[in-house]
Structure 1
Amino acid sequence: MKHILFLLFPFLLCAQSSFDKAQKLFDDGKHEQSKPIFEALLKANPSNLKIIENLGDIAGNSKSWVEAVAYYKKLKDLKPSEADYYYKYGGATGMLALEVNRFRALGMIDEIRESFEKAIKLDPKHIDARWALIEYYMQLPRIIGGSEAKAVLYSDELMKISAVDGYMSRGRIDEYYKRYKKAEIQYKKAIAIGSSAESYRMLADLYKNKMNEPAKASAILQKIKDLNSTSKENI
């Protein structure tokens, strides 16, 4: 047994070195350079969750949704207790549904919703899955299940978990249904509580693209730059 371990040790070191190299490239945003290394590593270790997730994320980043769905499906099959795997699977499936014909897309609707719901069941505080369901119920035609009331329900749940996300999501709903002044109020509430860059970005986008107030949008974008600059100085 000791002899076997001795023979395996250089191989294990090499595999770890390759993984570290690929992970560094991935973390630096060099996804296409990291992809062939992860693919080679996956052949040697087909059940490695991190490698599979990275490959799924790389596929999603390049909008290769069929490939992303396959990787995320493998993840949730290997570890059905992980909420994020269902969330990513539902998201990739939703993006794929936008690219296929309507008949096929209709057959994917329930699976998309159920994936996000499963993520929430596994992680009751899962914020991103609730955001996804808000978009799902807003953008789905009413005749096949779309519902502003259900979108608001998930926004209310977000409010209990994260007030910033709660106000931002309510603003997003108001904006989607063209209640722009109400959306502005909600985004400002989110900013007052958390001053997150995302809440500023959503308000700037509202001013620029929906309310035709470019000066206000520019002021908000400058605020985002100031926040980013301050954040870097504090690192």
Structure 2
Amino acid sequence: MKKILFLLLFPICVFSQSNFEKGQAYFQQEKLTKAKFYLVEVEKNDTNYYKAQEYLADIAVYQENLDEALEIYEELVERFPENANLNFKYGGTLGLKALSVTKIEAAFYISDIKKYFKRAAELDKNHIEARWALVELYVKLPGFIGGSFETATTYADQLLEISPINGYFAKGYIAEHDNQSKIARSYYLKAMELNNAEACQQDLQNFSLHKIDNLDAEKTAIGCQNFNRNQLNYLTGKVAAEYNIQNQRGIFYLQQYIKNFSPVDGVPLHYAFYRKAQLYKNLGDKKQAEKWINKSLELNNDFEKAFEEKTKIQAM
């Protein structure tokens, strides 16, 4: 009788979920089309309406519907100007939009991109993403339209205070783009020493190379810490590949980057595949190196660095 009663009541519990709750649940499961189906039905008088709108904007970014995302974020920022994360998301989406248009058109977006990233950083003294965005922006912009290594370094110094690993990676990134290779190396190596690096590398050396791709730090007894920022996964792999250090650790974190990849992560997947090929080459595994360099070229058959790397791999 109890089982029958439970089965009768269960559908009521399921169907009593609001559109917002259903949409949020699907969003967290990364089932974005289903999430959007319910979130657009959340009415304006619902207490969760604006959070639903934020989810819809996030979905639009993931699906590369940037104009739709910008329209929603703009309305949200106007309504909640003191929300650091909304300012950051709006600035970031403006940045993605700038990348999708001509260089002349992109120039008109720069002042607003800076404005909203800076506002996010000012509103939240610990906002890592906003500071990283400002580092990258000031490094990549030409000097005549506002680029500045000095300003980028200011935000890297702030990152160093908030999170040493982010700070050292940011400083290495700046030095690398300023053609100061020795300084870049020193900062990158400092970053690579953090977050239990030695224990992680030692543990991974106990696994055969093909098994590292399938390891999960949360479920496996290894000393590798999960990074909250997916970009740190990529940077760890990149530095390991370029300097031929901690190669197993590099493979592990690049696989985390690939598994968690989204369009907002900044570095396209063909670069992650390219770095994995380098790491396997460093370790003398020609078969795996060829596999990953070919995957890189499948995504981008104009990737010159990958062609150069493929020649080196074939010569192994």
Q: Distance in 2 between matches of 1:223 and 1:23?
A: 30
Q: Does residue 202 in structure 1 map to residue 231 in structure 2?
A: no
Aligned length: 212
TM (normalized to structure 1)? 0.78
- CA offset digits 1:193-229 (Å, max 9, x no partner): 3245554631321353xx3x6x64742334548999x
Gaps of 5+ in 1: 1-12, 229-235
Contact 1:127 1:158 in 2 (8 A): yes
User: Match of 1:39?
Assistant: 40
Q: Distance in 2 between matches of 1:223 and 1:181?
A: 26
Q: Distance in 1 between matches of 2:173 and 2:134?
A: 13
User: Match of 1:161?
Assistant: 162
The alpha-carbon distance between structure 1 residues 163 and 223, as it changes in their structure 2 partners (threshold 3 A), is same
Contact 2:121 2:130 in 1 (8 A): yes
Match of 2:249, as an amino acid?
I
TM (normalized to structure 2)? 0.60
Gaps of 5+ in 2: 1-13, 197-224, 258-316
Q: Distance in 1 between matches of 2:16 and 2:108?
A: 41
Aligned pairs for 1:1-235 within 5 A? 16-42=17-43, 45=46, 48-195=49-196, 197=227, 199=232, 201-208=234-241, 211=242, 216=245, 218-224=247-253
**1:112 offset after TM fit, Å?**
0.5
Contact 1:134 1:152 in 2 (8 A): yes
Q: Distance in 2 between matches of 1:71 and 1:225?
A: 33
**1:155 offset after TM fit, Å?**
0.3
The alpha-carbon distance between structure 1 residues 66 and 188, as it changes in their structure 2 partners (threshold 3 A), is same
**1:19 offset after TM fit, Å?**
1.7
The alpha-carbon distance between structure 1 residues 96 and 185, as it changes in their structure 2 partners (threshold 3 A), is same
Select between 53-62 and 100-109 the one with higher mean Cα deviation. Answer: 100-109
- CA offset digits 1:44-80 (Å, max 9, x no partner): 6598221011011101111221111111111111111
The alpha-carbon distance between structure 1 residues 220 and 117, as it changes in their structure 2 partners (threshold 3 A), is same
